Amino acid sequence: MTNIIMLGCNGRMGQMITDIVAKDDEAQIVAGIDIVNNRENPYPVFTDIKDCDVKADAIIDFSSANGFEERMDYAVDKQIPIIVCSTGLSDEQLDYLKEASKKLAVLKSANMSLGVNLLIKLVKEAAKKLATEGFDVEIVEKHHNQKLDAPSGTALALADSINDEMGGQYEYVYDRSKVRQKRDKKELGISAVRGGTIVGEHDVIFAGTDEVVTFSHTAYSRAVFGKGAVEAAKYISETYHCAVLCKGGHQLNDANDLLYRDGGYKWFNGKRIDNPNTHGTGCTLSSAIASNLAKGYDLDTAVERAKAYISGALAAMLDLGHGSGPMDHGFDFRGKGFAEEKA
């Protein structure tokens, strides 16, 4: 079961995803975040993300660009993988996202629909053949009259995929009304249409001499974006969902280890032992944890017992050979019962 925190839960996409997840046996929304809490939802809703203390496997963000940095800080602090579906992010916010992605799993897509992501792949392949043969490239996107950003993030993602494939040779042109000159071969035109209730349409046009090749995608419902976001949450959770132990021992006085799992933390405090013979401490600790798990102990207890074992092995002060030697693995064969199985 993938536990999800839904950012922007009371917006149109948030409610769409709420309905989709309600019918999914492998996922559930455990909390929502929205500055306006004016709906009844089958999960707790927080108006301030800092107040959310619910454990989760993934975050889906369909909220606006406002407050983006705070949301990323929350994901990094809680170490919860995040699927970023927000559009209209500034260059500075995209840089912020890239920095955050060095600290946790981030999936960013301008469009979560399966069809659009396939379209991105197809136009890259088309560009390799058609653009090199002199075809002009134009992108036309259409959306409803309530959409704030233009051009759409999807249109820019399509343009970037083509431009990357062609070595960055294109210059994006958004408005030709003020320039009276022929189209430059290195232009990539992007046009935006806003009207009615159009969910989303994207045409990528390769215009050559006496022929035109057009790749099109039309979304008839926002459900395609919501379903893709839910699948992304499952994927990122299943791919990276594991417990992580950050081993201490490098400070001057303490040797505190941090265990992270299921969106939560637990510290295992210890005293640093001044012993230069520390060769193999990481391998010994992980082996001791695995051994205790095999004996039937839960993870927290296994880590606690393994930490006590390695502290004792270091404190025995075995001095064997030259350089940084091993610790005394056999220091307590008849002592505190490290070899005992769980009762």
Tokens for 98?
């890239």
Mean pLDDT of the chain: 85
* Alpha helices for 166-315 (secondary structure H): 223-240, 281-294, 299-315
Q: Identify the bridge partners of residue 136 per DSSP, sorted by sequence position.
A: 207
According to CATH, the topology of domain 2-108 is Rossmann fold (3.40.50)
Give the model confidence (pLDDT) of 75-87 as tens digits.
999 999 998 987 7
55 tagged catalytic: no
| Residues 144-171: tens digit of each pLDDT | 998 877 898 889 989 999 999 999 999 9
Catalytic one of 55, 147, 247, 266 = 147
pLDDT of residue 342: 62
- Residue 58 CB neighbour total at 10 angstroms: 28
Looking at 78, 108, 142, 143, which residue is catalytic?
A: 143
Domain ranges of the chain: 2-108, 114-219, 244-315
* Band (43; pLDDT cuts 50, 70, 90): very high
Token pair recorded at residue 203: 């045409």
Which residues have a Cβ under 8 Å from the Cβ of 187 and sit 6 or more positions away? 136, 170, 171, 173
Q: What pTM value is reported for the model?
A: 0.51
**Has 143 been annotated as catalytic?**
yes
Q: Which CATH architecture has domain 114-219?
A: 2-Layer Sandwich (3.30)
Are 2-108 and 114-219 the same fold in CATH? no
